[in-house]
């Protein structure tokens, strides 16, 4: 009788195929794929279904059963990987301006400057729109319209 190694007995006991029979494109039921890809038990078949519903995991349905591959899970993990974001604001060493002779630190986010420019441009457009529009009517239209009373609205 051949002696099986400890790892093969564990996978057989949980209903998992032997590791030497699994490749990147071997179709696996979702519960088996979750157990192999996340051996700590942190991912379940329902978690993989949620990722598939979000479009991040490729699954295939055959005879009403859902399958995926370890390769598809690897691609999902690549898509889900969070990028390390830089600091939004601050006065650290990276925030020094281009002219090293002044050593002036840049405080606040550069987004603030963009927002202030956009607000200033919007205010200029509003001021232009508040002015009178030029006459665009031709001479054939009647200029004898009754004039109504103008009620100015108070701005906030």
User: What does the block give as tokens for 141?
Assistant: 């239209």
- Cβ-count burial of 84 within 10 angstroms (0-12 exposed, 13-18 middle, 19+ buried)? exposed
- Euclidean distance between CA atoms 93 and 73, whole angstroms: 39
Model-level pTM?
0.46
Calculate the CA 40 to chain-centre distance.
27
pLDDT digits (tens, 9 = 90+) for 32-88: 999 999 999 999 999 999 999 999 999 999 999 999 999 999 999 998 888 777 766
């Amino acid at each position: 009788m051949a002696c099986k190694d400890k790892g093969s007995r564990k996978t057989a006991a949980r209903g998992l195929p032997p590791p030497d029979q699994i490749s990147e494109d071997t179709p696996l039921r979702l519960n088996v794929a979750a157990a192999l890809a996340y051996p700590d038990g942190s991912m379940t078949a329902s978690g993989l279904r949620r990722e598939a519903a979000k479009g991040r995991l490729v699954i295939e349905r055959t005879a009403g059963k859902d399958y995926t591959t370890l390769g598809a899970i690897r691609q999902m993990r690549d898509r889900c990987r969070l990028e390390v974001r830089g600091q939004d604001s601050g006065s650290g060493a990276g925030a020094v301006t281009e002219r090293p002779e002044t050593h002036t630190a840049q405080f606040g986010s550069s987004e603030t400057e963009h927002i202030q420019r956009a607000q200033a441009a919007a205010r200029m457009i509003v001021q232009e729109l508040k002015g009178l529009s030029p006459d665009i009517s031709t001479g054939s239209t009647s200029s004898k319209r009754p004039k109504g009373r103008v009620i100015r609205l108070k701005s906030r």
